[in-house]
Amino acid sequence: MPEPLTVRGAVLREMGLPRPYAETRPLEIVELRLDPPGPGEVLMRLRAAGLCHSDLSVIDGSRPRVMPMVLGHEAAGEVVACGPGVTSVEPGDHAVLTFVPACGDCGPCRAERAALCEPGAAANTAGTLLTGARRWHDGGGGDLHHHLGVSAFADHAVVAESSIVRVDDDLPFEVAALFGCAVLTGVGAAVDAAGLRGGETVAVFGLGGVGLAAVLGAKMAGASAIVGVDVIAEKLALATELGATATVLASEDDPVAAVRTLTDGGVDVAIETAGHEAVLAQAYAATRRGGTTVTVGLPDPSRMLSIPAVSLVAEERTLRGSYLGSGVPARDIPRFIEDYRAGRLPVDRLLTHRLGLDEINEGFDRLADGHGVRQAIIL
């Protein structure tokens, strides 16, 4: 049996510490022990990891997870070693990691709804790998939990084979990492969950990495109008560069009234990425009769949404959630990468900061303040 590796990683031991994180240091960079991969598992040398609002939601406690945990879920890296039974990758392969380890055998998986994999959801909730194992240990020998089967904020990680999608070696790691969450979620929300068709109108509420990826997806799908909505002016400027035909500064203007005015009564598709029930209510209100509202944000579980119930029937409205872009990573990541290579999805424009692992707490301060778009930890 190979000996455990000694690696560096970012451990979250307590949720809800106050900001600024540069001072309270919720993420502790420490040496950890990582067990070798078991059956169906892969040891990855991680090279880049993105900072996502879903990580921030765990740090601030609005998305509770089991503690302590090696955080992070959007990453790319290189395969180092494979456990027994692994067939889809081999050492030296480059891969993107995805945050739902789909088993392939449950009802949702058989229906090509990998995001709803039942064993995968159970493992993610428990903070384990798909097998139920935990491979992380701290310096005192105590077990640590995995974050969404990935634990991206470390120089190495053990993951389930089903958390891996092999990619070409010439794709830069910091760009490849984006396809595991921001691109899969945002582009998928537009082209898969919403089923956006050419000529339809779209509004995207929240212009972080996922929201701007949704803008790119809407443009690729041929939307006739794309309205970007956010409270930060610098994000509106980038949305315009990426394809938005109009923008609304929600901190100054009524976003519902503005979107309705810009689109002659409301959009065919509204996509909400902010993770706030009030913003979702705005997105729903800005959707026209017969339209579709898609939400990919993750509010605090205690938050409730209130909408006019009669509108669902009387106006033939659709309100749907989308997790993992409502797609299948093994199918969709390669096709979105091809769109990137063809110039249809310039997702590299989402990268605004490159950080070292030791700068991670400062990076989450920046994310919480709404500055920048996607920050990549270079490992």
**Which tens digit of pLDDT belongs to each residue from 168-219?**
999 999 999 999 999 999 999 999 999 999 999 999 999 999 999 999 999 9
| Number of folded domains that form the chain | 2
Query: Does pLDDT of 231 surpass 90?
Result: yes
Is residue 48 domain-shared with residue 149, that is, in the same domain? Answer: yes
Which ranges of the chain would DSSP assign to H, the alpha helix? 21-24, 53-59, 107-110, 118-126, 173-178, 182-188, 209-220, 233-242, 255-262, 277-285, 309-314, 329-341, 360-369
Residue 330 lies in a domain: no
Is residue 283 domain-shared with residue 374, that is, in the same domain? Answer: no
SS3 234: helix
CA dist 148 and 101 (Å) reads 8
Residue 84 lies in a domain: yes
This prediction's pTM: 0.95
Contact (Cβ atoms closer than 8 angstroms) between residue 86 and residue 40:
yes
Query: Does pLDDT of 2 surpass 80?
Result: no
- The per-residue pLDDT for range 348-372, each reduced to its tens digit, is 999 999 999 999 999 999 999 999 8
What's the mean pLDDT in 227-235? 96
CATH number of the domain to which 88 belongs = 3.90.180.10
Is residue 27 domain-shared with residue 138, that is, in the same domain? Answer: yes
Is residue 134 domain-shared with residue 194, that is, in the same domain? Answer: no
Is residue 87 domain-shared with residue 169, that is, in the same domain? Answer: yes
CA dist 106 and 124 (Å) reads 16
Long-range CB contact pairs, 230-233, < 8 A, 24+: 230/205, 230/206, 231/370, 232/207, 232/370, 232/371
CA dist 86 and 166 (Å) reads 13
Residue 309 lies in a domain: yes
Beta carbons within 8 Å of 207's beta carbon, 6+ residues apart:
215, 228, 229, 230, 232, 235, 236, 238, 239, 273, 373
Residue 332 lies in a domain: no
Is residue 33 domain-shared with residue 141, that is, in the same domain? Answer: yes
Report residue 1's pLDDT band, with 50, 70 and 90 as the boundaries.
Answer: low
Is residue 138 domain-shared with residue 164, that is, in the same domain? Answer: yes
Picking from 241, 66, 77, the residue whose alpha carbon sits closest to that of residue 153 is 77
Report residue 236's pLDDT band, with 50, 70 and 90 as the boundaries.
Answer: very high
- What's the first-to-final CA gap in the chain, in angstroms? 27
Is residue 167 domain-shared with residue 209, that is, in the same domain? Answer: no
- The per-residue pLDDT for range 267-307, each reduced to its tens digit, is 999 999 999 999 999 999 999 999 999 999 988 888 999 99
CA dist 316 and 233 (Å) reads 34
What's the mean pLDDT in 245-262? 96
Residue bearing tokens 């290579």: 341
Is residue 296 domain-shared with residue 368, that is, in the same domain? Answer: no
Is residue 293 domain-shared with residue 211, that is, in the same domain? Answer: yes
Look up the domain containing 374 and give its range: 5-180+346-378
Residue 335 lies in a domain: no
Percent of the chain topping pLDDT 90: 96
Is residue 67 domain-shared with residue 169, that is, in the same domain? Answer: yes
**Between the CA of residue 90 and those of 35, 40, 298, what are the distances in Å?**
18, 12, 35
Residue 300 confidence (pLDDT) = 86
Residue 281 lies in a domain: yes
- The per-residue pLDDT for range 103-159, each reduced to its tens digit, is 999 999 999 999 999 999 999 999 999 999 999 999 888 899 999 999 999 999 999
